[in-house]
Amino acid sequence: MMLYSPLFLLLASLDHVAAIRFLGRVNPATRQLTWPGTGVSFTFTGSSANIDVESVSGDNSADLIIDGKTTVIPSIDATSISTPSDLRHGKHTVELRRRSETAYGTMVLGNITTDGVFGRDKYSSRKIEFIGDSITVGYGLDGEHPCVNSAALEDAPSTYAALAAKAVGADYDMVAWSGIGLTRNYLSVGTIDTSDIMPERWTRYGALDPLNSYPFNKKAKPDVVVINLGTNDFAYQEGIRGPIDPSKFTAAMVDFVKTVKSRYPKAVFFLMDSPMLSDTYPTAEDAQKTTQTRALEAAIAQLKTNTNIQLVHWPTQGADVGCDFHPNAATHAAEADVLAAALAKEMGW
């Protein structure tokens, strides 16, 4: 079912007023695109449209989708993004989606103009919020190991999250940050990331906005919340920090789901285990994959009396991987089918 958007960015364009819809968590006061997958969407009747870029910080990649056809912009270094010069006069849909994450850079959008007439953008009545780490970000998704991740190799619109949402006809938000955990963040070569963990960062409007800045507008509440966290919580290094206590991970997940549910009382929850954990690394005794799965099942057992919640299993990935052993495009696509099937079955989508 398609509805007219409740949230519009009103911009003057020639003699018209355009209704531009933000995609994902975008603070309309700043128009800054930070979270992966954020952007804008609009329709127009004419032969050209232009999106001004007021400022760019760092490196950013994006997809420009016109009438369903995607053009990859590997690095945004211009002051505007325009439709192709050979676009025929007629009715067109335009969507701009960030591929890269906040750590590489951000961008601020300005006016959006057309040589024709803007229509009213439409949106799905179905909405999913994805909460995750580098897997949900699409870290290194377009690379082939060994490779060095970059803004150009990240690909949020090709993740399991975006593909599953598309398969069931849902809009989506991504609240995702590489290296983040539920209880503790990334550990690498003796360095521990001490920045905000997800229960804190989830309260931000834009990814760099202050804590507790997101307004949780009633009209923007999701029908479904998908949580994919734990890869970074389970990382450990002798002499730096030990293995996580699974019961603490379970307790943290229970608390976090309750917090999210307090904002989205009617949401259905799907918890996902990590494809980057296995039962053989770092040791067979750790059995990290099974341990995390059981910890999630324990959380679900505690929550299911008052919450519609279930586990979506993501098997340990194979040898074909993206940068830094992250899931590649094929692995994301395969899991998107699994998640979409679970969403369709539970939600009737």
In this model, does residue 81 exceed pLDDT 90?
Answer: yes
Q: Which residue has the tokens 């619109």?
A: 157
Question: Worst-scoring range by mean pLDDT, 19-28, 88-97, 323-332?
Answer: 19-28
Once rounded to an integer, what is the mean pLDDT over residues 178-199?
A: 88
Higher-pLDDT residue of 189, 174 = 174
Max distance between CA atoms of the chain, in angstroms, equals 68
Among 108, 128, 135, 103, which residue's Cα sits nearest to residue 207? Answer: 103
Name the band, by pLDDT with cuts 50, 70 and 90, for residue 122: confident
What pLDDT is recorded for position 189?
Answer: 64
Once rounded to an integer, what is the mean pLDDT over residues 48-71?
A: 97
In this model, does residue 10 exceed pLDDT 80?
Answer: no
In this model, does residue 16 exceed pLDDT 90?
Answer: no
Name the band, by pLDDT with cuts 50, 70 and 90, for residue 13: very low
What pLDDT is recorded for position 61?
Answer: 98
Once rounded to an integer, what is the mean pLDDT over residues 66-93?
A: 96
Q: How many CA atoms lie within 13 A of 183 on its CB side?
A: 19
- Name the strand (E) or helix (H) holding 335: helix 329-347
Which residues are CB-contacts of 329 (< 8 A; sequence separation ≥ 6)?
141, 142, 155, 158, 322
What pLDDT is recorded for position 14?
Answer: 31
- Name the strand (E) or helix (H) holding 56: strand 49-58
Dihedral (CA of 300, 278, 162, 263) sign? positive
For 24, the token pair is: 């994902």
Once rounded to an integer, what is the mean pLDDT over residues 72-94?
A: 95
Q: Phi, psi (5° rounding) for residue 123? A: -145, 165
Name the band, by pLDDT with cuts 50, 70 and 90, for residue 8: very low
- In contact, 118 and 50? CB cutoff 8 Å: no
Q: Which residues partner with 45 through β-bridges?
A: 91, 117
Convert the pLDDT of each residue in 254-307 to its tens digit: 999 999 999 999 999 999 999 999 999 999 999 999 999 999 999 999 999 999
Once rounded to an integer, what is the mean pLDDT over residues 14-24?
A: 65
For 94, the token pair is: 């335009």
Q: Which residue has the tokens 């006061």?
A: 29
- What is the phi-psi region of residue 58: left when phi exceeds 0, alpha when psi lies from -120 to 50, beta otherwise? left
Classify domain 17-119 at the CATH class level.
Answer: mainly beta
Q: How many CA atoms lie within 13 A of 173 on its CB side?
A: 24
In this model, does residue 6 exceed pLDDT 80?
Answer: no
For the domain 127-347, what is the CATH code? Answer: 3.40.50.1110
The pLDDT > 90 percentage for the chain reads 88
In this model, does residue 3 exceed pLDDT 50?
Answer: no
Each as own residue / partner, the long-range contacts of residues 208-217 (CB below 8 Å, 24 or more positions apart, any chain) are 208/32, 208/34, 208/102, 208/106, 209/27, 209/30, 209/34, 213/27, 214/25, 216/263, 216/264, 217/7
For 124, the token pair is: 């799905």
Question: Worst-scoring range by mean pLDDT, 115-129, 187-201, 321-335?
Answer: 187-201
Once rounded to an integer, what is the mean pLDDT over residues 49-65?
A: 97
Among 222, 219, 177, which residue's Cα sits nearest to residue 202? Answer: 177
Name the band, by pLDDT with cuts 50, 70 and 90, for residue 187: confident
Mean confidence (pLDDT) of the chain? 93
C-alpha–C-alpha distance, residues 221 and 265, integer Å: 9
C-alpha–C-alpha distance, residues 5 and 348, integer Å: 22
Domain ranges in the chain are: 17-119, 127-347
What pLDDT is recorded for position 5?
Answer: 36
pTM (2 d.p.): 0.93
